[in-house]
Structure 1
Amino acid sequence: MRPLLPTLLSLLAIVATLPVAAQTATQPPVGASQTVRGTVLDAAAKAPVIGATVVVLGVEPALGASTDVNGRFRLSGVPVGRVKLRISSVGYEDLLLNEVTVTSGKEVVLELSLSERLTKLDEVTVTYKRSEDRTVTNNEMATVSARPFAPLDANRYAGSLGDPARMAQNFAGVGSANDTRNDIVVRGNSPASLLWRLEGVNVPNPNHFGSQGTTGGPVSMLNNNLLAKSDFLTGAFPAEYANALGSVFDLRLRKGNDEKREFLGQVGFNGVELGAEGPFSAKSKASYLVNYRYSLFSLLKSVGYEIAGTPNYQDFTAKVDVPVGSRGTFSAWTLAGRSNITFLGQDVDSTKADVYGDEATNTRVKYSTGIGAASYEHRFTDRTVARLTLSASRTTQEFGQDTLLFRGRSREVRAEIPNYTADFTQEKLSVNLSGAHKVSARDRVSAGVIVDLLRYQYGSGYTYPVTVVERDARGSTALSQLYLQWKHRFSDQLTLNAGLSASRFELNGRAVVEPRAGLQYQATPSSTISLAYGLHSTLQPLLTYFYQSPQADGTYALTNRALGFTRAHHLVLAYDRQLTDNLRLRVEGYHQWLFDAPVERTPSYFSLLTEGSSFGPLNKGNLVNEGTGRNYGLEITLERAFARGYYFLLTTSLFDSKYKGSDGVERNTPFNTHYVANALVGREFAVGQRRNTFTISLKAATTGGTYSTPINLEASGASRRAVYYYDRAFSKQQTPYFRADVKVGYKINRAGLTHEIALDLQNVSGHQNIFQQAYNARTNTIGTAYQQGFLPVPFYRLTF
C-alpha cells in the first residue's frame, strides 16, 4: 500500500493542472452518454403512474419520455455528468431530482414516487415542490427529524469512507462516539438506542467487530454500492418503528439492472470487492445483485505487510427481484459477514495507553453475522398493497483473554494465563406483515405486525485468578409489535400523521403502548412549520437479562430478568424554509424526557443510558427500571443541493444531555459534548470532451469534549488496578475535538466503462484528540490514548 500513495498523489497533482471545461445549463450532449430509465409509482398506493412525463432539464436538444402502462420510462443518450430530471403528471405534485449522476460505465435505474394533489391544477398554482427529492423521506408518515440520503452522499463526503453511519455524522444532532468505530450519538442518546432496519426488517448490528448489544463497529458490513435512497430519523418517528429510543436507520437495497449485465471492482478502506448484477435472461424482468468484499489488510498480510492486530473480515451481499404477474413482486436478499482480530500484549507500546490493546493481556475475538429474508408484495388494487416478509438472522461472538505475568517491573513475560472467555450466540426468526390502503387523496392508512422469535445461548466468565460465571443460559423468547398509522391531508397546506404502536416481551411479560402524532403546516409556498410528539421505548440488550449476580450463599441469580423497556417522551418543533431553488434552511428544537432506565438497586451513579459504545457486553446485575434522563437542544442546518458544480452542508447542534442514577444525583452523560458543528463543501469540475470529472470535498468538524470519570491514582497503585472516583462520575471534561478531512477524486468515462480514483485524507491537520485515559499497573502511571491521527485512504472503482 505504501508505494501506491505517492503514485496516487502524483496522478491527482497532474489532474489538478488539466484545463477545466465549463459546464453551462445549455451545454449539448457530447462524448459519452448513458441510458436513464426507471419506474414512476403513486407514493401512497404503489401503483404505476401512467403517462407521467420525465424530462432532462438544461440540455439541447431536449430529452424526454412518458411512462407506459407499467409506469416505466426510458431516456437514451443522456450525457454523462450531473443532470436534473423533472417528473410530472396531471393530478400529482411535480418531482424534481437535482443531482442524478450519470456515468458511462453503468445505467441509471430509478424508482420514483409521486404524491397526489388535493386540488386541481386550475384551482391553485403550486410554486413550492414538496416532493423535491432531497427533502422528502421514503416514509410518508415522517413529520420531523427525518431526512433522506442517497448512496452518493456516503461516497462523496470527505471522511465517510462509504459508510452510512459515518456519513450521518455530518447531519444536525449527530456526533461520533470516537474515531475507532462508527457508533453515532444522536441528541445525546446512547449509540445503543439506534435501530437498524434493512428492507423493512429489524436487523442486528450490521458492522464487523460489532458486539451484541451495540449498534456500531470499526468497519461497516453494509455496502454503499448496493443501497438505494434511504431514510435517517432522529426523533418522534412514526409508529411502525418500535424498540427504538434515539434514532432509526431505515435502509433499502436497490434492485439489480433487469435489462443489462453490469460489473464492479473496487479497492478502498472497506476492502477489495467484486460485484455483478443483471437480468436472469433476456426475456425476463427478474434481476440479481451480488457483491463480495474481503479485508484489504488481510491481503496485505498475505504478502508480508503486517500490522499489529491485523483486522480480518469479509462480507457477502445478494438480492434477487422477481415480478409475479402484473401485480406481485417476490424478492429475497442476504447479508453475511465474518471478522476476527488478535491483540498481543507484547505488541502494545508500554509508554502510553492504547486504543485497543493492553500490555498486560492478550485478546482474541471472532464475530459473525448472517441475515436473510424473503418477501412477497402484492398490489390488490390501485389503492391497496400488502407485503409479507419472512427473515432469519444469527450472530455469534467469541472472546478469549490471557493475563500476562511479567518478571518484576520489566517487559519480560513470565507466563500467559487464560483468564476470561465468552461465547454468545443469538438467533432470530421474524414474520413481518404490513398493508397500506389509500382511502382517497386525503387519507391513507397502514398497519402491520412484527413477531420476532428469539433463541439464545450465552456463556461467559473468569477463570483466573478466581472462577466467576457471568452467564450460562440457553433458551428462547419472543418480541411482538403491532402498529396502526393514519395520514390525513386537511388541505394542500395542512397534514396530520398519527399512529399507535404496541409491543410485548414474552421473557417477562412486559408490554408498552406508544402514541405518535405529527402536524405539518405549509405556511408559505416555500416554508413549513411542523410539530410532533411520540412516546418511544426500547428493550435492553438481550445479554443484559442473563447476567448472573453472585449471592451471599455462594449461588448466582438472574437479577436483571424482570427489566422492562427504557422509555422516553419526544417533542420536536421544526421550521423548514426553501430559501432558493437549491438552498434550504432547517431549524429544529427538541426535548426528550427519558424514564424507566435501568440503574442499580442500591444507590449508585450507574445508568444504562451511559453505555453502548464498547466492544464488550455490559456486566452489571441487580438493575431496576428507576433511572431518568433528559436531552434537549437546538439544531440548525443550511444545505445547498448540488448545482452549478458545487454543494455544501453546514450544521450546528447545541444541546444538553443529563441522567440520574439510583443515587438521585444529576450528572452529564458521557455523550454530553454540549455542541457539534460540521462544515462540508464539495466542488466538481468537468474535464475534457468526454466530460470526465475532478472532485474535491472538504470537511471540518468540532465538538465539545466528552465527559469521563477521573482515576484515583493513589488507590489504583495500592490495588494494582484502575480505581475510579465514582462519586465524581462523568465530571471530567476532555479538551474539545477537532478534525479536518479532504477528499480528492477523478472520474474517467470511457466507452462502456468508468474509472474512479480518489484519495481520502483524514485528519489532515494531525490534531491529537483524546480517546481515553487508562491506568498502567506495571508503571503505576496514567496514560493517554489518542484517536486517529493523519490517515490517507486510497480508493479505486471500476464499473462496466
Structure 2
Amino acid sequence: MKLTITYAILIITLSVTAQTGTIKGRVIDQQSGLPIPGVTIELLNQEAAKGVITNQNGYYTLDEVPLGRQAIRFSFLGYETITNGNIVVTTGKDARANAQLIEAFGQLDEVVLTSSRRKDRPINKLATVSARQFGVEEVQRFSGGRGDVGRLAANFAGVSAPDDSRNDIVVRGNSPTGLLWRLEGIPIPSPNHFATAGTTGGPVSALNPNMLENSDFFTSAFPAEYGNAIGGVFDLGFRKGNKDDYEYTVQAGAFTGLEAIAEGPVGKKNGSFLIAGRYSLIGLIGAGAGTAATPNYSDVSFNLDFGDRKLGNFSIFGIIGNSDIEFLGEDIDEDDLFAAEDENAFVNSGFAVFGLRHQIGIGKSSYVRTILSYANSSDEFEADRFINFDTPEERTIRYTEVDNAENRIALSTMFNSKLSNKATLRTGVVFERFNSEQLSRDREEQPDLNGDGDPDLTTFINIDESLSIIQPYVQGQFRLSEKLTLNAGLHSQYSDLNEQFVLEPRAGLSYKFNNTHKISIGYGLHHQLVPLPILFLNETVNGTVQQTNADLDFTRSSHYVLGYDVDMGKGWRAKLEAYYQDIDNAGVEPFPSSYSTLTEGADFGFSNDRVSLVNEGTGFNQGVEFTLEKFFSDGYYGLLTTSIFESKYEGSDSVERNSPFNNGYVANLLAGKEFKIGKVKKNTFFVDTRLTIAGGRYETPVDLQASQDAGFEVLQEDLAFSEQIDDYMRWDVKFGFQFNSAKKKTTHRFYVDLQNVTNNDNVFQRRYNRLTNEINQVDQIGFFPDVGYRFTF
C-alpha cells in the first residue's frame, strides 16, 4: 500500500506549453456506495504523465491536464483497476470523472483485473439486461437531439420515437405511458413543457441536460427498486456543482433557448451549489415548431449540496417549469400539427418538483439514503370554435375546457449494505400520495339534447381524488464466481384505491466466458396503474355519475430477455438482445370491441368515453435488437442500433391487432469526428451526423362518409390500427467549433445543427378536415437549422 501511494506522489509531470485544464471527481466502492481514500489516479498521457490520490472523503483533483480528450486510470490495492478513456478537458470548465471500484473477487493482496469504464453499462450495478447509462456530453453531442434526454434515448436499441413533434418514448412496442421517470431516486410526473395529464412525453423537455450527472435508461426487466411501470425507466440524477471554484456558463440555442448556469462551493464541508435557468427562443425564430403559433417556455433547475457532515450528506434539488401558447385560427393553416383554422385555443402548463435528499454511512460498508419530495404538474386547455366559419353567420362558442392538476408527495428510503466482496443487499420502500384534480368538458361528438342548435358541452371528468401507492422491495447481487453474477429481488406494490396488492419477482444472471464475451438472461414481473385520466372517467349509471373504471386492477407484464455482449477491443463493442413481453389485465370494454388501454398514449390526450372497463385485455411485444458501438477514442465515435420487433394486442372482441406502436423496425446510425486545430492543437472542429429510418405507425382508418354526415371525425373501429403510414426517414448533420482560451479560463463553443437535411416529408397523421370535408395528410417538421453558442468561464 505504501509503495502505491509513493508511486502516485512521485509520478513525474512533464511540462507543456499549451493551456491546461483540470479533472476532478470522487471514487466510491461500487457495492457499499462509500468513498475510498488512497485510490491512485493516473493520467495516461505519455507527454504529460501525472498522478494523485483520493483524500479521506474519496475526492481527487488532477491539475495541469493537457486539453482535449484524456484517459485516466483508477487503481487501489485489492480492487479491480478501471480506465476512463473519454474525458473532455477544456479551459472554461473543470472536467468531472467519478468512478466506482469493485473489490477483487479473489485474493486481496493484488489487483486481479484491469478493465475500461464502459458507457453502455448502467450505473445501477444490480441491473443485468436491457440497461445502459448516458451522460450530458451525449445529449449535447448527437445531432438532432435538441438537448433532450428523451430524444437521446431514441438512438438506443429497442426505442422508437418517429415523431418530431413530441419526445414520447416507445420502448419495445409499449405505450409511452408505460415509462417511469425518476429524479434523484424518486418518481416524478412527465418532466416536459406542454405535457398533458397522464402522459410521459411532450414537445419540449423541462430537464436541463447541463444539470444531469451520468444516468441510467432501462428498456426491460428492470431491477426490483423500480415499480409502477411496464415499459421502461429513466433514472436521472443531478450532478453537484464545483466544490472548489466558481464557474459560469451562458448559452443560446434555437430549441434550448437562452440559458445561464452558475455553480461553486458552499461552506467548508465539500458543499456546492448549481443553478440553471432557461427561456425559450424558438418563438422569436418563428420556425421549426410545427405551428405558426408562438410557444413560450421557461424553467429553473437547482441542486444545493451541503457537503459531508457528521449527520450525513444533505442536498436540496428542484425544477420549476412553465409554458404557454395561443393558437389563433386566423394564423393557422391546414398543415398545422396542433391546431385548426376554425378555432382559437389556449394552452398553459406547469411542472415543478422539490426534493430533500439525505445519505448517511453506517459502519464501513452500508448507507441509508432517504428522499422526501413534492411534485406538481398542471395543464389547461381552452378552445373556442367558430360556428358557420367564414360566413356572415359566423359565431363563437366555448367548445372545450380542460383543467388538470396533479400533486404528488413521495418518500423513498433505501438501505444498501456490502455484505462481502461477493454479496450486496439493497432494500427499501417508495411511498407516493397522489391528489388528482381533473376537469374535462367537451362538445366533440356530443348530441344536442337541450335544443340550442349546438352539441352539448358535456362533462367527462370532474373529480378531486386521492390515492396512495406503496412499493417495498428487496434485492441483492451475488457474485457466485469471477464469471457468474446473479442479481435477484422482489418488488411489491399496493394501491389503496382498489386495495390491490401484488408481488413481482425479478432476476438476472450473467456469465463472462472471458474478458470479451458475456451472456445474460433476465426475467421480471411488472405491474402498472391504469392512467388516471382513464381511471377517473365519468359514467352516468341510473342517473348517478360514477367513476366506473376506478376498480380496475393493475396491468400486468412479464419480461423475458436474452443478451450476448462482445467487447471487440480498441473501444468497439457489439450487443445482441432478444426479448418477449407478455401483457394481460389490460382494460377493455365489457362488450366486443377493438379498444384496449394498451393503445392509449398514441395521441396528445386520452379517450373520454371508455367506461365500465374490465381487466380482460392482452398483448405481447417481441423482438431482436443489435448494437454496434465505437466509444469516443482516436478522435471519433460511431453507433449503429437496429431493432426488429412486433407489437400486438387484443381487445374484448378477441381479434389480434397491431398496436399503434408497432413500427416493425427502427435503425439508427450515428457518427462523429473531432479535428484538433490551431498552432498548439488546443481547439477543435467537430462534425456529427445521424440517420434514422423506421417503419410507419399504424392508424385506424377514417370513415369519410360517416365523418361528413356527423361533422366530426369518425373512425372505423372494427378496422382498428389496420393501416400503416409511410416509413420514416430523417438525416441530421451537426458541425461546429470549440475554442479554448490560451490566457483565461474560458471556452467558446459554436454549432450548426441541420435537422432533416433532405427535407423528407414524414407523415404526422391522416385526419378528417371538417372544413374541407376531406381526409388530409399532415406532414411532420421539414428541414430546420438549429444554431447555438456556449460560453463557459
Q: Return the TM-score normalized by structure 2.
A: 0.94
3-state SS, counterpart of residue 556 of structure 2: strand
Return the letter of the residue paired with 1:236: A
Q: Distance in 1 between matches of 2:82 and 2:543?
A: 68
Q: Distance in 1 between matches of 2:392 and 2:145?
A: 41
3-state SS, counterpart of residue 125 of structure 2: coil
Q: Distance in 1 between matches of 2:560 and 2:39?
A: 39
Q: Which residue of 2 aligns with 1:219?
A: 204
Q: Which residue of 2 aligns with 1:414?
A: 394
**Which structure's relative contact order is higher, taking Cα pairs within 8 Å and 6+ residues apart?**
1
Unaligned runs of 5+ in 1: 1-25
Q: Which residue of 2 aligns with 1:101?
A: 88
Question: How many residues of Structure 1 are paired with residues of Structure 2 in the alignment?
Answer: 764
Tell me, yes or no, if structure 1 residue 317 matches structure 2 residue 296.
Answer: no
Q: Which residue of 2 aligns with 1:148?
A: 133
Q: Describe how 1:724-739 pairs up with structure 2 within 5 A.
A: 724-739=715-730
2:519 is aligned, of 504, 526, 529, to 529
Q: Describe how 1:457-606 pairs up with structure 2 within 5 A.
A: 457-462=437-442, 465-551=455-541, 553-606=542-595
Return the letter of the residue paired with 2:129: V
Task: Answer yes or no: is the 8 Å Cα contact 2:297–2:322 preserved in 1.
Answer: yes
Task: Answer yes or no: is the 8 Å Cα contact 2:104–2:111 preserved in 1.
Answer: no
Tell me, yes or no, if structure 1 residue 202 matches structure 2 residue 187.
Answer: yes
Q: Distance in 1 between matches of 2:572 and 2:681?
A: 30
Task: Answer yes or no: is the 8 Å Cα contact 1:126–1:525 preserved in 2.
Answer: no
Cα gap change, 1:344 to 1:554, in 2 (>3 Å):
farther
1:390 is aligned, of 355, 361, 372, to 372
Tell me, yes or no, if structure 1 residue 680 matches structure 2 residue 670.
Answer: yes
Cα gap change, 1:317 to 1:411, in 2 (>3 Å):
farther
Tell me, yes or no, if structure 1 residue 344 matches structure 2 residue 324.
Answer: no
Tell me, yes or no, if structure 1 residue 435 matches structure 2 residue 415.
Answer: yes
Task: Answer yes or no: is the 8 Å Cα contact 2:290–2:337 preserved in 1.
Answer: no
Shift of 1:30: 4.2
1:377 is aligned, of 352, 359, 364, to 359
Listed one character per residue, the Cα deviations across residues 273-322 of structure 1 (whole Å, up to 9, x for unaligned) are 111000125x4521100011111135568xxx997311011101011111
Q: Distance in 2 between matches of 1:490 and 1:311?
A: 55
Listed one character per residue, the Cα deviations across residues 91-129 of structure 1 (whole Å, up to 9, x for unaligned) are 1112211211111001123332111111127789536x2
Q: Distance in 2 between matches of 1:244 and 1:144?
A: 17
Q: Distance in 2 between matches of 1:183 and 1:49?
A: 40
Q: Distance in 2 between matches of 1:626 and 1:670?
A: 19
Tell me, yes or no, if structure 1 residue 367 matches structure 2 residue 360.
Answer: no
Task: Answer yes or no: is the 8 Å Cα contact 1:706–1:733 preserved in 2.
Answer: yes
Q: Distance in 1 between matches of 2:201 and 2:15?
A: 46
3-state SS, counterpart of residue 524 of structure 1: coil
Q: Distance in 1 between matches of 2:674 and 2:643?
A: 28
Q: Which residue of 2 aligns with 1:632?
A: 622
Q: Distance in 1 between matches of 2:791 and 2:607?
A: 43
Shift of 1:455: 1.4
Cα gap change, 1:29 to 1:676, in 2 (>3 Å):
farther
3-state SS, counterpart of residue 378 of structure 1: strand
Return the letter of the residue paired with 2:305: D
Task: Answer yes or no: is the 8 Å Cα contact 1:328–1:377 preserved in 2.
Answer: yes
Greater shift, 246-255 or 723-732, is seen at 723-732
Task: Answer yes or no: is the 8 Å Cα contact 2:14–2:49 preserved in 1.
Answer: no
Q: Distance in 1 between matches of 2:236 and 2:111?
A: 36
Q: Which residue of 2 aligns with 1:654?
A: 644
Shift of 1:778: 2.4
Task: Answer yes or no: is the 8 Å Cα contact 1:444–1:487 preserved in 2.
Answer: yes
Q: Return the TM-score normalized by structure 1.
A: 0.93
Return the letter of the residue paired with 2:34: A
Return the letter of the residue paired with 1:417: I
Q: Distance in 2 between matches of 1:727 and 1:270?
A: 43
Q: Distance in 1 between matches of 2:15 and 2:669?
A: 34
3-state SS, counterpart of residue 513 of structure 2: strand
Cα gap change, 1:300 to 1:652, in 2 (>3 Å):
closer
Return the letter of the residue paired with 2:364: D
Q: Distance in 1 between matches of 2:393 and 2:158?
A: 47
3-state SS, counterpart of residue 439 of structure 1: strand
Q: Describe how 1:86-165 pairs up with structure 2 within 5 A.
A: 86-120=73-107, 126=113, 129=115, 132-165=117-150
Task: Answer yes or no: is the 8 Å Cα contact 2:567–2:573 preserved in 1.
Answer: yes
Q: Which residue of 2 aligns with 1:5?
A: none
Return the letter of the residue paired with 2:423: D
Task: Answer yes or no: is the 8 Å Cα contact 1:447–1:483 preserved in 2.
Answer: yes
Q: Which residue of 1 aligns with 2:10?
A: none
Q: Distance in 1 between matches of 2:420 and 2:659?
A: 47
Tell me, yes or no, if structure 1 residue 760 matches structure 2 residue 742.
Answer: no
Unaligned runs of 5+ in 2: 1-12, 444-453
Tell me, yes or no, if structure 1 residue 270 matches structure 2 residue 256.
Answer: yes
Tell me, yes or no, if structure 1 residue 721 matches structure 2 residue 721.
Answer: no
Q: Describe how 1:80-91 pairs up with structure 2 within 5 A.
A: 80-91=67-78
Shift of 1:406: 2.8
Cα gap change, 1:679 to 1:28, in 2 (>3 Å):
farther
Shift of 1:402: 1.2
Tell me, yes or no, if structure 1 residue 187 matches structure 2 residue 178.
Answer: no
Return the letter of the residue paired with 2:230: L
Q: Distance in 2 between matches of 1:411 and 1:492?
A: 79
3-state SS, counterpart of residue 97 of structure 2: strand
Listed one character per residue, the Cα deviations across residues 157-187 of structure 1 (whole Å, up to 9, x for unaligned) are 1111111110111111111051100111111
Q: Distance in 2 between matches of 1:795 and 1:386?
A: 42
Shift of 1:344: 2.0
Task: Answer yes or no: is the 8 Å Cα contact 2:48–2:66 preserved in 1.
Answer: no
Q: Distance in 2 between matches of 1:273 and 1:501?
A: 40
1:611 is aligned, of 589, 600, 621, to 600
Q: Distance in 2 between matches of 1:712 and 1:54?
A: 67
Return the letter of the residue paired with 1:729: A
Shift of 1:793: 0.4
Return the letter of the residue paired with 1:428: R
Task: Answer yes or no: is the 8 Å Cα contact 2:128–2:510 preserved in 1.
Answer: yes
Q: Distance in 1 between matches of 2:781 and 2:133?
A: 29
Q: Which residue of 1 aligns with 2:4?
A: none
1:65 is aligned, of 30, 40, 52, to 52
Task: Answer yes or no: is the 8 Å Cα contact 1:300–1:306 preserved in 2.
Answer: no
3-state SS, counterpart of residue 339 of structure 2: coil
Aligned Cα root-mean-square deviation (Å): 1.9
Q: Distance in 2 between matches of 1:641 and 1:30?
A: 29
Q: Distance in 1 between matches of 2:14 and 2:772?
A: 69
Greater shift, 465-474 or 74-83, is seen at 465-474
Q: Distance in 2 between matches of 1:477 and 1:109?
A: 41
Task: Answer yes or no: is the 8 Å Cα contact 2:87–2:97 preserved in 1.
Answer: no
Task: Answer yes or no: is the 8 Å Cα contact 2:80–2:112 preserved in 1.
Answer: no
Q: Distance in 1 between matches of 2:48 and 2:399?
A: 73
Shift of 1:700: 0.5
Task: Answer yes or no: is the 8 Å Cα contact 2:270–2:308 preserved in 1.
Answer: no
Task: Answer yes or no: is the 8 Å Cα contact 1:327–1:380 preserved in 2.
Answer: no
Shift of 1:448: 0.6
Q: Distance in 2 between matches of 1:738 and 1:327?
A: 54
Q: Which residue of 2 aligns with 1:793?
A: 786
Q: Distance in 2 between matches of 1:589 and 1:287?
A: 44
3-state SS, counterpart of residue 180 of structure 1: coil
Cα gap change, 1:568 to 1:418, in 2 (>3 Å):
same
Listed one character per residue, the Cα deviations across residues 117-146 of structure 1 (whole Å, up to 9, x for unaligned) are 11127789536x2x6232321111100000
Q: Distance in 2 between matches of 1:613 and 1:256?
A: 38
Return the letter of the residue paired with 2:397: I
Cα gap change, 1:590 to 1:626, in 2 (>3 Å):
same
Between the aligned residues of both structures, percent identity stands at: 42
Q: Distance in 1 between matches of 2:636 and 2:683?
A: 16
3-state SS, counterpart of residue 631 of structure 1: strand
Return the letter of the residue paired with 1:211: T
3-state SS, counterpart of residue 714 of structure 1: helix
